Amino acid sequence: MNAITNHMPTAELQALDAAHHMHPFTANGELAEKGARIITRASGVTLTDSEGNQILDAMAGLWCVNIGYGRDELADVAARQMRELPYYNTFFQTTHVPVIALAKKIAELAPGDLNHVFFAGSGSEANDTNIRMVRHYWARKGKPSKSIIISRKNAYHGSSVGSGSLGGMSAMHEQGGLPIPDIHHINQPNWWAEGGDTTPEDFGLQRAQELEQAILELGEDRVAAFIAEPVQGAGGVIVPPATYWPEIQRICDKYEILLIADEVICGFGRTGNWFGSQTMGIRPDIMTIAKGLSSGYAPIGGSIVSDEVAAVIGGDEFNHGYTYSGHPVSSAVALENLRILEEENIVGHVQDVAAPYLKDKWEALTDHPLVGEAKIVGMMGSIALTPNKETRAAFAAPAGTVGYICRERCFANNLVMRHVGDRMIISPPLVITPEEIDTLIERARLSLDECYEQVKAEGLYTAL
Ligand SMILES: *Cc1c(COP(=O)(O)O)cnc(C)c1O
């Protein structure tokens, strides 16, 4: 194996990193003192850092390495494509073989009449495309006033100005003048944190009906689309009550507003079907894709669009596109990734083996004194940490204090598990085996135990 083992000592690398590299979503000053963890290689579900630690990556990078690390086939395809045609664009009536093959494959995998793909370099770019596409769609249908896109608080749709505006992350909106005009946010279906005394079923209906109220308040002639993740990912793996999505679909149908399913995490097997929309039983007009499309081996994203929307948009020139829309190397890598997902029946492995095995063990974590609810759909799961399971209380300490302690314990125990506030989340590679799931759970339990001890010792085990 051609591993890079002759790199500089960790401390030197960390100093250079701190001096010149600005990290995304990171307090860079704080990191400079501590030093970043340096990942040097990976294979299967396991990362190796510059100190030689073997870390189980229960987040699949950033929710993306669906087929696992270290698949030579993707490296070979990338090298071959770079030699043959490293770059050509798809503007101005040109195309190339990898993008044609990939678009055809995605159309085949996507449900219903979702048969057309507009490519982008990332999920953020794809959602920016969606903003312009749905507004342009209604303009071409003679209804230019339909420009408002309804989204949800605590949604994540990307980090560009457009996609960050679609998202409902208040910490993002506080910086840089977001959101852009004509984006409206309703409440999320997060029963654990916001459901009060309501049953999950009633709460799911209530939160879905906020969409109807918003349409009526804003005016049917003003609303273009509703966008949502089938299961909120970065918001904390919030699984909506079963009543939620059927009601949302009913409302979208009734008022004829476009439904955009942001499948950037849920797509390509994560929920146990090819798309989260299938798991949730919804019929979107547009799907946003990225992450698992290439298993993160090359940057690529896109919008899968229905026959109807594509026909309307295609009627004249859509003044939109990215230099790297349908990049040949990314397209070839994505196509190879889809071949592996399909031929190795990895979605079937999730449904029949990995997800049921993980679900049992994950839900059993609720016997731990710190853990309130455990939620899981396919291979994305979350647990809520709480000082009082009965009242579902939040900690008195600022949100995220305890979650951060838990995440640090996990990292020290060679497990990557993320925290969102005081929820711990996982999204492992889909190829994870039952034995590796045992290791994941073992390390999670050990970390929860250590976190519990620390939280009690520091006087943090108190309710708000
Ligand atoms: C990650 C993510 C995005 C943004 O994708 P990038 O490739 O980071 O731009 C959009 N939507 C969802 C649901 C995501 O999880």
Q: What percent of the chain has pLDDT over 70?
A: 99
Question: pLDDT value at position 309?
Answer: 98
For a substitution probing ligand 1, which of 65, 157, 172, 294 has the most ligand atoms within 8 Å of its CB? Answer: 157
Contact 303, 261 (CB under 8 A): no
Atom number in ligand 1 closest to CA 233: 15
Distance 454 CA to ligand 1 centre (A): 34
Beta strands in 408-457 (DSSP E): 415-416, 418-420, 423-426
Instruction: Decide if pLDDT at 4 tops 80.
Output: no
Ligand 1, residue 159: give the atom nearest the CA: 9
Average pLDDT over the chain reads 97
Rounded to a whole number of angstroms, the distance between the first and last alpha carbons of the chain is 52
Residues 413-453 have pLDDT tens digits of 999 999 999 999 999 999 999 999 999 999 999 999 999 99
Residue 154 CA to ligand 1 centre (angstroms): 13
Residue 368 near residue 445, CB atoms below 8 Å: yes
pLDDT at 206 over 90: yes
Which pLDDT value is given to residue 7? 84
CA of 264 to the centre of ligand 1 (A): 6
Q: How many whole angstroms from 161 Cα to the centroid of ligand 1? A: 13
Amino acid 122: pLDDT = 98
Would the pTM count as exceeding 0.95? yes
Q: What is the pLDDT of residues 349-393, one digit of tens each?
A: 999 999 999 999 999 999 999 999 999 999 999 999 999 999 999
Has residue 2 got a pLDDT over 90?
no
For 29-53, what is each residue's pLDDT tens digit? 889 899 999 999 999 999 999 999 9
Structure tokens that stand for 152 in this block = 């949800």
Answer for the pair 276, 256: CB distance below 8 angstroms, yes or no: no
For residue range 48-64, what is the model confidence (pLDDT) as tens digits?
Answer: 999 999 999 999 999 99
Name the percent of the chain in helix, strand, coil, to the closest 5.
Answer: 45, 15, 40
Structure confidence at residue 234 as a pLDDT band (50, 70, 90): very high
φ, ψ dihedrals at 24, nearest 5°: -70, 150
Query: Distance (Å, rounded) from C-alpha 118 to C-alpha 96?
Result: 14
CA distances from 321 to 59, 90, 227, 382, 443 (A): 31, 9, 21, 36, 45
For ligand 1, the distance from its centroid to the CA atom of residue 127, given in whole angstroms, is 9
User: Which residue owns the Cα nearest ligand 1 atom 10?
Assistant: 157
Above 80 in pLDDT, residue 6? no
- Ligand 1, CB within 6 Å, residue ranges: 122-124, 127, 156-158, 229, 233-234, 262, 264-265, 290-291, 301
**pLDDT of 333 above 90:** yes
- The protein residue with its alpha carbon nearest to ligand 1, atom 6, reads 123
In the reported structure, the alpha carbon of residue 262 is separated from the centroid of ligand 1 by a whole-number distance in angstroms of 8
Q: Measure 439 CA to ligand 1 centroid, in angstroms.
A: 28
Token reading at 109: 């995998």
Q: Which atom of ligand 1 is nearest to the CA of 64?
A: 1
Question: Stretch 173-196: mean pLDDT, rounded?
Answer: 98
Q: Reduce the DSSP state of residue 349 to 3 states and report it.
A: helix
Whether residue 84 is predicted with pLDDT greater than 60 in this model: the reply is yes
pLDDT of the residue at 5: 65
pLDDT surpassing 80 at residue 315: yes
Distance from residue 124's CA to the centre of ligand 1 (Å):
6
* CA-266 nearest atom, ligand 1: 13
* Atom number in ligand 1 closest to CA 121: 7
User: What tokens were used for 137?
Assistant: 């769609």
Atom of ligand 1 nearest to the CA of 263: 13
pLDDT score at 30? 87
Cα dihedral 365, 266, 198, 401, rounded to 10, equals 50
Atom of ligand 1 nearest to the CA of 158: 4
CA-based radius of gyration for the chain: 22
Strands 380-385 and 423-426 come out as antiparallel
Q: Whose CA is nearest to atom 11 of ligand 1?
A: 157
Task: Tell how strand 46-49 and strand 39-43 pair up.
Answer: antiparallel
What is the rounded average pLDDT of the residues 160-187?
Answer: 97
- Measured in Å, residue 133 CA sits from the centre of ligand 1 at 18
Pairing of strands 148-152, 183-186: parallel
Ligand 1 centroid vs 64 CA: distance in angstroms?
10
